[in-house]
Amino acid sequence: MIEGTFEVVGARAALTYFGALGPAGLSHGYLFTGPAGVGKKRFARALAQSLLCETPKSTLLGYCNACAGCTLFRAGTHPDFVATEGTVKIGKDGGSAQHDEELTARDLVRELSLRGYRSAYRVVLLGDVDFATHEAANALLKFFEEPPGGVVVLLTTSSPGTLLATIRSRFVEIGFPPLGTAEVESVLRAGGVEAARARLAAEASFGSITRARAVLEGADEGIRSASFGWFAEAMRGHTPDHGFLRLDDRSLNAADKRALVGEMLEIVRIAARDWAALGAGADVPLLAPDQRALLAALPQRTPQAAATLLAAIAETTKLAETNVSAGLVVDYLRMQLGA
Ligand SMILES: [Zn+2]
C-alpha cells in the first residue's frame, strides 16, 4: 500500500485513512489528536515528506529519501514545509524580542497564503498548537475561507477541546491512540537505548514515547511518584498538596500546565484501575506493579463505588480537554476521589 519509506509507529487510524486516500481526496486541514508522545508529530512529518517527495508514486504515503525534495526536507530547508510548535499569538510589530521564536498570527496568515514553491504542495505543521487569542485563531479561519491550492495544514494537539469549535469543525480529525509497550520499546531501541533499560522504560510509559524518555532521564519519577502519592491522599479524603503540578509557576504557559495535569490524570487513572483490580481480587497484572503496596493499603469500596470512581476519572479527563482551568480540574478530581 505504501511505496518507498514511511517510518512511523502506532498511528493505526491515520495509516488506514491516508493509505486509502488519493491526491484528489486530500483535505486542506487535518487535526491529529491524542496523548503526548504517541507519534502525532512524527506521522505529520512523514506525511509532509511524502507529499513533498518528487519521486512519482501511486500512493499518498511514502517517500524515497533520495530525491531533491527529500534531501531538502531532511536538511530542514524545504521551502514548502513550515513547522512550528506551541502558541500562536496575535501579530505584533517587530519589536517584541522576547517572543521572537513564537509564531504570530501575522506570520501564520503569510505562511498560509503562499503556494508551493518547488512542489505541488505546501505543508504547514502546527505542533501542539495553542491559539493565545481569538485573533490568532481567526488567522486560520481566514485560510479556510479560500485555501490556496495544494496547501495542507496539519495541527496536532493533546487537548482538542481547547480549540474553538469553529476551527475544529474545519479539520478532518484523526485520533492517535497510546502505543503498545512493544512499539515504545522498539522506538527506544532504534534510538540506541540498551535493551533492558528500553523494556523498563516502555513498561512505565503507558504507551507514550515522551513519558518513556522522561523515565529514562529520571525526570518522570517526580511527577509519577507524586501523582501516586496525591491519589492515595485524595482517596483517604485529604486535600493533598499539588505543588508538583506547578500551577502557580508563571514561567509555564497554559498548554504546559494542561500537559502536566494530563500526565497526572493518566497516572491517577492507572492508580485507580490497579486499586480497583486489587479490591476485586482480580487476577490481572497491575499496570504499576511498583505501587502495589501503596494501593493495597488504601481503603476498599463496594464494586459499584469503585466503578463510579473510574467513571468520574474518565469524566475528569474529558473536562481537562476543555478550557476549564487546570486548578479547577484538580479540585474536581480530588472531590470525586474523596467522596
Ligand atoms: Zn523523495
User: How far, in Å, from the CA of 103 to the mean position of ligand 1?
Assistant: 28
Query: What is the spatial distance between Cα 54 and Cα 235, in angstroms, rounded to a whole number?
Result: 58
Query: What is the spatial distance between Cα 120 and Cα 122, in angstroms, rounded to a whole number?
Result: 7
User: How far, in Å, from the CA of 74 to the mean position of ligand 1?
Assistant: 10
Nearest residue to 26 via CA among 53, 2, 48, 3 = 48
Binned at pLDDT 50, 70 and 90, residue 151 comes out as very high
Please give the span between the terminal C-alpha atoms of the chain, in angstroms, as a whole number: 52
Q: CA angle at residue 222 from 258 to 256, to 5 degrees?
A: 20
User: How far, in Å, from the CA of 4 to the mean position of ligand 1?
Assistant: 9
User: How far, in Å, from the CA of 305 to the mean position of ligand 1?
Assistant: 56
User: How far, in Å, from the CA of 8 to the mean position of ligand 1?
Assistant: 17
Residue 164: CB atoms within 10 A of its CB come to: 15
Binned at pLDDT 50, 70 and 90, residue 306 comes out as very high
User: How far, in Å, from the CA of 280 to the mean position of ligand 1?
Assistant: 55
- Give 267-284 pLDDT, tens digit per residue: 999 999 999 999 888 777
Question: Does the pLDDT value for residue 97 go beyond 50?
Answer: no
Q: Which three cell numbers mark 273?
A: 484501575
pTM for the whole thing? 0.71
User: How far, in Å, from the CA of 140 to the mean position of ligand 1?
Assistant: 29
User: What pLDDT shows up at residue 100?
Assistant: 44
User: How far, in Å, from the CA of 132 to the mean position of ligand 1?
Assistant: 36
CB 245 within 8 A of CB 260: yes
